[in-house]
Structure 1
Amino acid sequence: MTDAPLTRLTLSTGVELDVQIAGPENAPAVILLHGFPESHRTWRHIVPDLARDHRVVAPDQRGYARSSKPEGIAAYAPDRIVADLLALADALGIDRFTLVGHDWGGAIAWMAALGHPDRIERLVIVNAPHPLVFQRSLFDDPAQRAASQYITRFRDTGLDRGLIGEGLERFFTSNFAAHVTTAIAGADKAAYLDEWGQPGAMTAMLNWYRASPITVPAAGETPSRPAFLDAPFPPVTQPTLVIWGTQDRALLPVQLEGLDTLVPNLTIERVDAGHFVPWQNPAAVIAAMRQWGI
């Protein structure tokens, strides 16, 4: 499959993003947000179908591939990335849109939907936990806490020094390909290694974890419980489709428990895949979105 060319856009937030744009300009807009450690390439099997009747926008988010990589951890705080999303829509003249996010892109999508219901008409989440459910599970569910210890490792800035040359190959094998049951090889693998090898890319990508306010207690730790975990939390008001790969080893089924109380207009579609659902079972992702009404 040949990828559509990328367009370089300068946003009002001060960053430049490479963006894949497809489909009729006057069609309903869908913005697709990738997660770690990917790029617009996450959606390469999804975009052609959606572009038949939607204006599809898939950026390389800040820090990734050849998009801008501002210095410093604070530049990757979630509110900065939500601002990029809205600035991207503004740059393309898009008012309201359907927002689709996977992994970290899904985390940004949850935040954007909560904070900007005037812009985001519908929400599709692919294996990305609701922020309250995730933080609560890290305190209350030992299995999810154990599965999330990799976040603490990614927050260690000493990791970056080894992520060059052969270190990128090892990272690909252990942290990406090992979780994708359908192999990413050949041109796709080469493209990812090229993106990760851009100056500052790995540090910028990992800074998303470092800038996140999420607390990850150590296994066996009994930290004091934040009061907000048991306080009222604002609902997601948009119609929301959650597509969940049931074989995900990083995000466990606890992430779906109680979600309907936080998202009143919720549809959950469980599919046979691991964490990297858009690669492992793109047909199921497309089918779920189409059946839902996209």
Structure 2
Amino acid sequence: MEVKARGLTFEVAEGGPADGQPVLLLHGFPQDRREFDLLLPRLHTAGLRTYVMDQRGYSPGARPSGVASYRIAEPVADAVAVLDTLGIEAAHVVGHDWGAQVAWLLAGRHPERVRTLTAISVPHPRAMQLALRVRPTQQARLAYFQVFRSAIAERLLLGGGALVMRRMLGPIGPRADLYVKAMREPGRLTTALNWYRAFRTDDVADLGQISVPTTYVWSDRDGVVGLTAALRTADWVSGDYQLVAMRGVSHWVPEQAPRELGDAILARIGV
């Protein structure tokens, strides 16, 4: 369905029992709402009502021009506005990659809208900032960030049959084709990369402890987030907290380990 919010139109897929507890799922880069397709049947069987939105830059009707339109506060405000339009006072929030960054900020700045938080792969921003200061290896893991901010990023990712993007998404196998095809849509890759180009550390520097019940899912073969950031996330959650560490799983948790992720989400929600 199409959800109008903040003068934009977001594509949102809803599913599960109409009377189920609401769950808002937020995707990352370079994926879209389909990254949760393997997970959703488990949530629906458990009686949950899911809302999976294509975020700004991904929904065709939500691609404002200009890099500044993709500062992280904007997708956070989008999520609040979408909940408002749907008439949802508070939802369980699940986010992966950039979606996790949005989810952390949503829980920190609008805790009344978040029943529980399950953040996948990306840790609390302050834990990441610490890891970047004390672990050169974490700095190396995020070296790609500057490449994605550069003017050559579009050509690099889609050139040569999108070889770089396909290699990046290698652990999810043929499902990578879904996202490569989508990113060939004119303008879509640029607006998705604008999330990287717009990001400033000041945007998350004031985020404090998270008071809502929280689970952070980290995987030991994640090439983006090291162990220090994963462990220190506990310092930034005052509510009930659990770290779920997955072995042998890469950054692409929702598609590589949907069963185990489903276990973690359902345990956090309590169904």
Question: Are the aligned partners of 1:73 and 1:210 in contact in 2 as well (CA < 8 Å)?
Answer: yes
Between the aligned partners of 1:108 and 1:63, the Cα distance in structure 2 is 14
Where in structure 2 are there 5+ consecutive unaligned residues?
none
Aligned length: 266
Where in structure 1 are there 5+ consecutive unaligned residues?
1-6, 216-227
Tell me the residue number matched to 1:50. Answer: 43
Tell me the residue number matched to 1:15. Answer: 8
SS in structure 2 of the partner of residue 25 of structure 1: coil
Question: Are the aligned partners of 1:163 and 1:202 in contact in 2 as well (CA < 8 Å)?
Answer: no
Change (3 A) 1:132 1:174: same
Q: Quick one: which amino acid aligns to residue 261 of structure 1?
A: D
Q: Please state how far the C-alpha of 1:71 moved relative to its aligned partner.
A: 0.8
Between the aligned partners of 1:241 and 1:266, the Cα distance in structure 2 is 6
Tell me the residue number matched to 1:198. Answer: 185
Question: Are the aligned partners of 2:157 and 2:165 in contact in 1 as well (CA < 8 Å)?
Answer: no
Tell me the residue number matched to 1:93. Answer: 87
Q: Please state how far the C-alpha of 1:175 moved relative to its aligned partner.
A: 2.5
CA offsets 1:73-120 (integer angstroms, 9 cap, x no match): 111111110011011111111101110001110000001100001111
The reply on whether 1:234 has 2:211 as its aligned counterpart is no
Tell me the residue number matched to 2:252. Answer: 276
Within 5 Å, which residues of 2 pair with 1:201-216? 201-214=188-201
Root mean square deviation, CA, Å: 2.0
The reply on whether 1:267 has 2:267 as its aligned counterpart is no
Question: Are the aligned partners of 1:168 and 1:196 in contact in 2 as well (CA < 8 Å)?
Answer: no
From the CA coordinates, give the structure whose radius of gyration is larger: 1
Question: Are the aligned partners of 2:154 and 2:189 in contact in 1 as well (CA < 8 Å)?
Answer: yes
Within 5 Å, which residues of 2 pair with 1:3-82? 7-11=1-5, 13-52=6-45, 53-64=47-58, 66-82=60-76
Question: Are the aligned partners of 2:169 and 2:176 in contact in 1 as well (CA < 8 Å)?
Answer: no
Between the aligned partners of 1:129 and 1:149, the Cα distance in structure 2 is 17
Change (3 A) 1:18 1:64: same
SS in structure 2 of the partner of residue 250 of structure 1: coil
Between the aligned partners of 1:119 and 1:214, the Cα distance in structure 2 is 24
CA offsets 1:28-77 (integer angstroms, 9 cap, x no match): 10000000110001100111111231110001111125352111111111
- Of the candidates 247, 251, 273, which is equivalent to residue 225 of structure 2? 251
Question: Are the aligned partners of 1:168 and 1:193 in contact in 2 as well (CA < 8 Å)?
Answer: no
Identity score, percent = 30
Relative to the length of structure 1, the TM-score reads: 0.85
Relative to the length of structure 2, the TM-score reads: 0.92
Tell me the residue number matched to 1:126. Answer: 120
The reply on whether 1:289 has 2:270 as its aligned counterpart is no
CA offsets 1:191-231 (integer angstroms, 9 cap, x no match): 3222111121111111101111138xxxxxxxxxxxx97xx
Between the aligned partners of 1:74 and 1:86, the Cα distance in structure 2 is 19
Q: Quick one: which amino acid aligns to residue 14 of structure 1?
A: G
The reply on whether 1:106 has 2:106 as its aligned counterpart is no
- Of the candidates 131, 145, 152, which is equivalent to residue 146 of structure 2? 152
Between the aligned partners of 2:178 and 2:243, the Cα distance in structure 1 is 32
Question: Are the aligned partners of 1:233 and 1:262 in contact in 2 as well (CA < 8 Å)?
Answer: no
Between the aligned partners of 1:249 and 1:191, the Cα distance in structure 2 is 22
Question: Are the aligned partners of 1:65 and 1:196 in contact in 2 as well (CA < 8 Å)?
Answer: no
Q: Quick one: which amino acid aligns to residue 154 of structure 2?
A: D
SS in structure 2 of the partner of residue 51 of structure 1: helix
Between the aligned partners of 1:155 and 1:214, the Cα distance in structure 2 is 14
